[in-house]
Amino acid sequence: MKEKVLIPTRGVIALDIINSLNSMGMETLLMHSPEDSLTLPVKLADRSFKFYSSRLEDSYLDSEAILEKAREVHADYVHPGYGFLAENPEFSKLCSDNHIRFIGPESRVLAAVEDKIQLRQTAAALGLPVLKFSELIRSPLDFDACGGDGNYPIIIKPLKGSGGRGIRVADYRRDAQEQVANLLKREENVRNGVFFEEFRPYAHHIEIPFFRDVKDNILFLPEIESSIQRRFQKIFQESPSPNLDERLRARLYECSQTLLKKINYVGLGYVEFIVENNECLFSEINPTFQINTLISEVHLTSNFLKKQVVISRGELLHNVQGVRIVKPKHHVLLVSLMAEDPYRNFLPSTGQINHFFHYSTIRNVFKTTLYTGARVTPMYDPFIGKILTYAVERPNAINDMRIFLDNIIIRGIRTNLVFLKHLLENKDLRNGETIIDFLHLKFDFSKLKNTEEEAIVAAALLAADFHIDNRKKDYRAKLEKMKQPGLLKRLFSPY
């Protein structure tokens, strides 16, 4: 009998899971919200089950309902995708208590990674350099006692947050106090607490992807630089990073190895570092599959979802003994396509796709769930696709990506395509100066248009439009005149 996998997730990751596990000969059972009934994963899954409501708490976050369904269909595995329940230690524990394999790290590891302060203390105790951080804050009054009069700017985070939710940057003390007070108005933040850390606008954000098995074998992949973020969502990622030398790179791998051994991490994950001036500071560990896992898949030319399943069964890594560091053969770029209007301060844009088309080469991958007729709903985040390009040299990869973006047509909703095109033409990005606060320091949002020639074109088209419009009005006016009751009489009257 086929092994059964329950997949309570949506979007691109659901598609990837369904395709990979189907090819491994497993039966894929999707759980989806009523809002997602017409999406591609529902069409491709072997069977799918609908949650009764589209509210997040009653659908993708409802661990009780998911577990109940898993028991009912006798599922062998649950793959939570990313986001939603993927980083939740209680859910992982619930699954293993019910003899269902949770594809991802075990509950113990997830709990260790979730508490960011504890994890950093562990790292510091091992002698690793870490990003400066505050103690836990549970009340706005704690703020000063926790070092609120230190250096600014700072970045304020919920202790157990993920996916960029609730993260704020404060430039001075009053601002920080207000932000902390606002964050602590939420129940979950009061329960778990918030903390802050130093914000380094000119640093680089580097992630080290890895696989680790039960026998302490580690497969390290080339680092991914994801410095350029908007609202703490990564929008432009590349690998290898243009800002690391061999010495620093070796140091990052060394730090990661020490820490992973200490917490005995088994599975796929990402160690995140902040790198500035030859100094690498440990920040946190991301324990799930990510959007940028596609980059690592290109480097290793292998399917990571399949690998993840194998590791979660407790099997050993294939062809790895001790530490293996994969060397990059290509420069890989990945951008995120979002349903946001760059001309209206990146307001989310929703609606039906009237027209969707793209044309790619062998070095482009465009993963999206869009199709002509699909609906983008306001229920979920505005991420609608990811676009990957690779080439041997970095400038070629950027050029290829820029050209490929011209080959995408999406009508019906507004997307950040224009913004991405301008981003790829940015001089500083082309020089490799990708820094954390790139969009504030190096990117001019007022220049999202307006080369001289384009303005003339716009003028011409507007003129044409007005003219056509006027003619239409004239035509309509004539028709109205024809309908006047007196007209026929006058024409045919004998008098």
Helices 107-114 & 246-263, crossing angle to 10 degrees? 120
Compare residues 361 and 450 and give the one whose CB is closer to another protein.
450
Q: Which amino acid is at 314?
A: G
Whose tokens are 């997730």? That residue is 9
- The sign of the dihedral angle between the CA atoms of 425, 427, 430, 433 is negative
Minimal distance in Å, beta carbon 363 to another protein? 24
Q: Would you call 290 helix, strand, or coil by DSSP?
A: coil
Between residue 265 and residue 294, which ones bind another protein under the rule CB under 8 A?
Answer: none
| Number of residues lying near another protein (CB under 8 A) | 43
Q: Is 165 in the site for another protein (CB under 8 A)?
A: yes
> CB count, 10 Å around CB of 302?
11
Between residue 462 and residue 481, which ones bind another protein under the rule CB under 8 A?
Answer: 462-468, 470-472
Q: What's the CA angle centered on 296, arms 290 and 297, to 5 degrees?
A: 95
Judging by beta carbons within 10 Å of its beta carbon (0-12, 13-18, 19+), is residue 10 exposed, middle or buried? Answer: buried
Which among 203-211, 265-273, 285-293, 452-460 is the span making contact with another protein, rule CB under 8 A? 452-460
Q: Is 190 in the site for another protein (CB under 8 A)?
A: no
Compare residues 267 and 382 and give the one whose CB is closer to another protein.
382
Q: What element of type H or E holds 234?
A: strand 233-239
How does 347-373 read in b/e, with b if 16+ C-beta sit within 10 Å? ebbeeebeebebeeeebbbbbbbbeee
Judging by beta carbons within 10 Å of its beta carbon (0-12, 13-18, 19+), is residue 453 exposed, middle or buried? Answer: exposed
- Among residues 150, 373, 378, 432, the one that binds another protein under rule CB under 8 A: 378
Compare residues 83 and 209 and give the one whose CB is closer to another protein.
83
- Among residues 379, 391, 399, 442, the one that binds another protein under rule CB under 8 A: 379
Compare residues 2 and 447 and give the one whose CB is closer to another protein.
447
Compare residues 244 and 353 and give the one whose CB is closer to another protein.
353
Which among 71-79, 107-115, 160-168, 311-319 is the span making contact with another protein, rule CB under 8 A? 160-168
Q: Is 347 in the site for another protein (CB under 8 A)?
A: yes
Q: Is 455 in the site for another protein (CB under 8 A)?
A: yes
Single out the residue of 316, 408, 395 nearest to residue 360, CA to CA: 408
Q: Is 350 in the site for another protein (CB under 8 A)?
A: yes
Q: Is 188 in the site for another protein (CB under 8 A)?
A: no
Q: Is 99 in the site for another protein (CB under 8 A)?
A: no
Compare residues 281 and 417 and give the one whose CB is closer to another protein.
417
Q: Is 456 in the site for another protein (CB under 8 A)?
A: yes
Distance CA 388, CA 361 (A): 11
Minimal distance in Å, beta carbon 326 to another protein? 32
- Among residues 3, 122, 348, 375, the one that binds another protein under rule CB under 8 A: 348
Between residue 406 and residue 445, which ones bind another protein under the rule CB under 8 A?
Answer: 409, 417-418
Q: Backbone phi, then psi, for 489, in 5-degree steps?
A: -55, -45
Which among 9-17, 100-108, 196-204, 343-351 is the span making contact with another protein, rule CB under 8 A? 343-351
Compare residues 441 and 458 and give the one whose CB is closer to another protein.
458
Distance CA 130, CA 214 (A): 26
- Among residues 461, 477, 487, 488, the one that binds another protein under rule CB under 8 A: 461
Q: Is 216 in the site for another protein (CB under 8 A)?
A: no
Single out the residue of 218, 212, 392 nearest to residue 298, CA to CA: 392
Structure tokens at 130: 């870490």
Between residue 227 and residue 256, which ones bind another protein under the rule CB under 8 A?
Answer: 231
Single out the residue of 332, 462, 344, 467 nearest to residue 401, CA to CA: 332
Judging by beta carbons within 10 Å of its beta carbon (0-12, 13-18, 19+), is residue 480 exposed, middle or buried? Answer: exposed
Minimal distance in Å, beta carbon 320 to another protein? 36
Task: Give me the residues that bind another protein (CB under 8 A), please.
Answer: 54-55, 163, 165-166, 182, 185-186, 231, 339, 343, 347-348, 350, 378-382, 409, 417-418, 448-450, 454-468, 470-472
